[in-house]
Structure 1
Amino acid sequence: MRQFITFCCLLGTIVLSGQTGIVRGLVIEDANAYEVIGANILITDSSIGTSTDIDGSFELTLEVGTYEFQVTYIGFTTITIQEVVVKEGEVTQLGTIRLLENSQKLEEVVVTATAMRHSETALLTLRKKSISMLDGISSEKFELTGDGTAVEAAKRVTGVTVEGGKYVYVRGLGDRYAKTTLNGADIPGLDPDRNTLQMDIFPTNLISNILISKNFTADLPADFTGGLLNLETKEFPEEKIFSVSASLGYNPAMHLNNDFLTYNGGKTDFLGFDDGTRSLPEGAISEQIPTPISGASKEEVSTFVNSFDSQLGVSRTLSPVNYSAGISYGDQITLGNKNGGFNSPKLGYIFSLSYKSEYKYYNDVIYGEYQRYIDPDLFDLRYATIQDGEIGEQNVLVGMFGGLAYKQAGNKIKLTALHLQNGETRAGRFDIRNDGEAVGQSGYFAESDNLEYNQRGLTNAMLQGTHVLGNTGLEIDWRLAPTLSTLQDPDIRKTAFTYTAVDTSFIAGAGGNPARIWRNLDEVNAIGKLDISKKYTFRGEDARLKFGGSHVYKNRNYEILFFDIQFFGGQDWTNPDPATVLNPENIYPNSPNSIYYQSGNNTPNPNSYSSNVNNTAFYISNEATPIENLKVNIGVRMENYVQRHTGRDQRYASGDVVNGRNLENEKVLDALDFFPAANLVYSLSDQQNLRFSYSRTIARPSFKELSFAQILDPITNRIFNGSLFTYADWDGQLSETRIDNLDFRWELFLENGQIYSASAFYKNFDNPIELVRIPEQQTSTEFQPRNVGDGSLFGFELEMRRDLGFVSSALNHFNFSTNVTLVDSRIDMTDTEYDARKTYEKTGETIKRYRQMAGQAPYVINAGLSYGNPDNGLDFGLFYNVKGRTMEIVGAGLFPDIYFQPFHSLNLSINKKFGPSQKTVLDLKVSNILNDKRESLYESFSADSQVFTSINPGITFSLGLSYKI
Structure 2
Amino acid sequence: MKKVLSAITVLFVLTLTAGNLLAQTTGRISGKVIDQKTSETLIGATVNIEGTTKAVATDVDGHYVLAGIAPGKYTILVRYIGYQSKTISDIEVKQGANTALDITLGQAESKALNEVVIKSTYRQASVGALYAMQKNSVSISDGTSAEVIKKSPDRNTADVLKRVSGATVQDNKFVVVRGLSDRYNSALLDGASLPSTEPNRKAFSFDIVPSNLVESLNIVKTATPDQPGDFTGGLIQINTKDLPEQNVISFGIGTGYNTASTGKTFLSGQRNATDYFGFDNGKKQLPNGFVPYSSIVNGLSLQQNRNLLKSISQDYNIYKNTALPTQNYQFTLSRVKDYEKTGNRFGAIFGVTYRNSQSILNDVKRDAYGYNYNDDIYKFSTNLGAILNLGYSYGKNKITFKNVYNRIYDDQFLQRTGSNQATNSDVKYYAFDLLQKALFKSTLEGNHPLGEKGAKINWNLSYSNVLNDQPQQRKVSYSRNIGSNDPFEANVSTLGKDNATLYAKLNENQYSGAVNYSMPIKMFSHTGTLKTGLTSLYRDRNYNVRFLGAVVTDDPNLNDPDFIRPLKQRPISTLFRSDVLNADVYKLTEIDGSDDSYNAHSLTNAGYVMLDNKLTDKLRLVWGARVEQFDVRVTPVSKRPDGIVKQNYVDVLPSANLTYALTDKTNLRASYTRTLARPEFRELSISQYYDYELLALQQGDPNLKRSNIDNIDLRYEFYPSAGQIISVSGFYKRFKNAIETYNQDVNSTRTITYFNSDKANVFGAEFEIRKTLDFLYNTDFMKNTTAYANVAVIKSTSYNPKNAGINFKYEKRPLVGQAPYVINAGLQHAFLNNKLNFNALYNRVGRRLNVAAGALYEDIWEAPRNVFDAQLGLKVFKGKGELKVTAADILNNSATYYYDNNFNKKVDAGDGIQSSYKPGATYSLAFTYTL
2:490 to 490, 495, 506: 506
Deviation string for 1:886-908 (max 9, x for gaps)?
A: 00001132111001111211111
Q: Does the CA-based 8 Å contact 2:104-2:132 persist in structure 1?
A: no
- Partner-residue secondary structure (3-state), 1:617: strand
What does residue 191 of structure 2 align with? Answer: 184
What does residue 668 of structure 2 align with? Answer: 690
What does residue 500 of structure 2 align with? Answer: 515
1:668 to 646, 661, 665: 646
What does residue 727 of structure 1 align with? Answer: none
* 1:828 Cα deviation after fit: 1.7
Within 5 Å, give how 1:806-955 maps onto structure 2: 806-808=775-777, 809=779, 810-831=781-802, 849-869=811-831, 871-916=833-878, 918-942=879-903, 944-955=910-921
1:400 to 377, 381, 386: 386
Q: Does the CA-based 8 Å contact 2:679-2:705 persist in structure 1?
A: yes
* 2:425 counterpart letter in structure 1: Y
* 1:681 counterpart letter in structure 2: T
* 1:834 Cα deviation after fit: 12
- Where structure 2 has 5 or more consecutive residues not aligned to the other structure, the ranges are 1-23, 905-909
Paired with 2:129 and 2:90, the residues of 1 have a C-alpha distance of 21
Paired with 1:159 and 1:572, the residues of 2 have a C-alpha distance of 58
What does residue 689 of structure 2 align with? Answer: 711
Using a 3 Å threshold, how does the CA distance of structure 1 residues 514 and 19 change in structure 2: closer, same or farther? Answer: closer
- Partner-residue secondary structure (3-state), 1:268: helix
Using a 3 Å threshold, how does the CA distance of structure 1 residues 109 and 348 change in structure 2: closer, same or farther? Answer: same
Deviation string for 1:618-656 (max 9, x for gaps)?
A: 11111112344211121111111111121167xx8xxxx
Deviation string for 1:545-581 (max 9, x for gaps)?
A: 1111111111111111011221132322375411110
Paired with 1:218 and 1:551, the residues of 2 have a C-alpha distance of 15
* 1:508 Cα deviation after fit: 7.0
Paired with 1:156 and 1:544, the residues of 2 have a C-alpha distance of 33
Using a 3 Å threshold, how does the CA distance of structure 1 residues 895 and 167 change in structure 2: closer, same or farther? Answer: closer
Deviation string for 1:306-330 (max 9, x for gaps)?
A: 2223423432211111111111111
Within 5 Å, give how 1:536-555 maps onto structure 2: 536-555=521-540
Deviation string for 1:484-527 (max 9, x for gaps)?
A: 22221111111111113566423479997952110111111111
Q: Does the CA-based 8 Å contact 1:723-1:785 persist in structure 2?
A: yes
- Give the TM-score taking structure 1 as reference length: 0.87
Using a 3 Å threshold, how does the CA distance of structure 1 residues 207 and 122 change in structure 2: closer, same or farther? Answer: farther
2:33 to 7, 24, 27: 27
* 1:173 Cα deviation after fit: 1.4
Using a 3 Å threshold, how does the CA distance of structure 1 residues 351 and 243 change in structure 2: closer, same or farther? Answer: same
Question: Could you tell which deviates more after superposition, 147-156 or 21-30?
Answer: 147-156
Deviation string for 1:866-925 (max 9, x for gaps)?
A: 112472411111111111110000113211100111121111121111122x01011111
Paired with 2:902 and 2:126, the residues of 1 have a C-alpha distance of 58
Deviation string for 1:729-769 (max 9, x for gaps)?
A: xxxx1111111100011111121422111110000010111
How many percent of aligned residue pairs carry the same amino acid?
Answer: 28
Q: Does the CA-based 8 Å contact 2:826-2:841 persist in structure 1?
A: yes
* 1:351 Cα deviation after fit: 1.2
Paired with 2:806 and 2:203, the residues of 1 have a C-alpha distance of 36
Q: Does the CA-based 8 Å contact 1:771-1:783 persist in structure 2?
A: yes
Q: Does the CA-based 8 Å contact 2:201-2:683 persist in structure 1?
A: no
The answer to whether 1:90 aligns with 2:97 is yes
* 1:96 Cα deviation after fit: 1.2
Deviation string for 1:137-192 (max 9, x for gaps)?
A: 22333345475544444332211223333333321212111122112210225436
Using a 3 Å threshold, how does the CA distance of structure 1 residues 354 and 639 change in structure 2: closer, same or farther? Answer: same
Question: Could you tell which deviates more after superposition, 152-161 or 348-357?
Answer: 152-161
* 1:453 Cα deviation after fit: 0.5
Q: Does the CA-based 8 Å contact 2:655-2:674 persist in structure 1?
A: yes
Within 5 Å, give how 1:354-503 maps onto structure 2: 354-368=353-367, 370=368, 383-435=369-421, 441-500=422-481
Deviation string for 1:241-261 (max 9, x for gaps)?
A: 321011111112201112x11
Q: Does the CA-based 8 Å contact 1:266-1:276 persist in structure 2?
A: no
- Partner-residue secondary structure (3-state), 2:682: coil
- Partner-residue secondary structure (3-state), 2:371: strand
Q: Does the CA-based 8 Å contact 1:411-1:468 persist in structure 2?
A: yes
- Partner-residue secondary structure (3-state), 2:44: coil
What does residue 577 of structure 1 align with? Answer: 571
Paired with 2:822 and 2:229, the residues of 1 have a C-alpha distance of 24
The answer to whether 1:296 aligns with 2:274 is no
Paired with 1:831 and 1:508, the residues of 2 have a C-alpha distance of 43
Using a 3 Å threshold, how does the CA distance of structure 1 residues 391 and 945 change in structure 2: closer, same or farther? Answer: same
* 2:636 counterpart letter in structure 1: G
* 1:284 Cα deviation after fit: 3.9
Equivalenced residues, count? 885
* 1:614 Cα deviation after fit: 0.8
* 1:193 Cα deviation after fit: 5.9
Within 5 Å, give how 1:164-179 maps onto structure 2: 164-179=171-186
Paired with 2:609 and 2:427, the residues of 1 have a C-alpha distance of 62
- Partner-residue secondary structure (3-state), 1:307: helix
Deviation string for 1:919-952 (max 9, x for gaps)?
A: 1011111111111111111013457222111121
Q: Does the CA-based 8 Å contact 2:415-2:430 persist in structure 1?
A: yes
- Partner-residue secondary structure (3-state), 1:705: helix
- Partner-residue secondary structure (3-state), 1:219: coil
Paired with 2:238 and 2:707, the residues of 1 have a C-alpha distance of 26
Within 5 Å, give how 1:70-81 maps onto structure 2: 70-81=77-88
What does residue 16 of structure 2 align with? Answer: none
* 2:460 counterpart letter in structure 1: R
- Partner-residue secondary structure (3-state), 1:280: coil
Q: Does the CA-based 8 Å contact 1:289-1:599 persist in structure 2?
A: no
The answer to whether 1:530 aligns with 2:515 is yes
- Give the TM-score taking structure 2 as reference length: 0.90
Using a 3 Å threshold, how does the CA distance of structure 1 residues 150 and 130 change in structure 2: closer, same or farther? Answer: same
Using a 3 Å threshold, how does the CA distance of structure 1 residues 277 and 124 change in structure 2: closer, same or farther? Answer: farther
- Partner-residue secondary structure (3-state), 1:132: coil
Q: Does the CA-based 8 Å contact 1:518-1:560 persist in structure 2?
A: yes
- The CA RMSD over aligned residues, in Å, is 2.6
Using a 3 Å threshold, how does the CA distance of structure 1 residues 420 and 140 change in structure 2: closer, same or farther? Answer: closer
1:320 to 308, 315, 324: 324
Q: Does the CA-based 8 Å contact 2:495-2:589 persist in structure 1?
A: no
What does residue 373 of structure 1 align with? Answer: none
Using a 3 Å threshold, how does the CA distance of structure 1 residues 871 and 189 change in structure 2: closer, same or farther? Answer: farther
Using a 3 Å threshold, how does the CA distance of structure 1 residues 285 and 870 change in structure 2: closer, same or farther? Answer: farther
Q: Does the CA-based 8 Å contact 1:669-1:735 persist in structure 2?
A: no
What does residue 224 of structure 1 align with? Answer: 231
- Partner-residue secondary structure (3-state), 2:566: coil
Deviation string for 1:167-222 (max 9, x for gaps)?
A: 33321212111122112210225436666544445455543322221101111001
Within 5 Å, give how 1:110-259 maps onto structure 2: 110-117=119-126, 122=129, 124-145=131-152, 149-188=156-195, 190-191=197-198, 197-258=204-265
The answer to whether 1:598 aligns with 2:598 is no
Paired with 1:760 and 1:834, the residues of 2 have a C-alpha distance of 37
The answer to whether 1:757 aligns with 2:727 is yes
Paired with 1:508 and 1:871, the residues of 2 have a C-alpha distance of 68
Question: Could you tell which deviates more after superposition, 27-36 or 568-577?
Answer: 568-577
What does residue 759 of structure 2 align with? Answer: 790
- Partner-residue secondary structure (3-state), 2:164: coil
* 2:653 counterpart letter in structure 1: F
1:329 to 321, 329, 333: 333
- Partner-residue secondary structure (3-state), 2:452: coil
Deviation string for 1:353-381 (max 9, x for gaps)?
A: 1111111101111234x3xxxxxxxxxxx
* 1:64 Cα deviation after fit: 2.9
Deviation string for 1:790-813 (max 9, x for gaps)?
A: 101000011111101122213221
Paired with 1:364 and 1:785, the residues of 2 have a C-alpha distance of 31
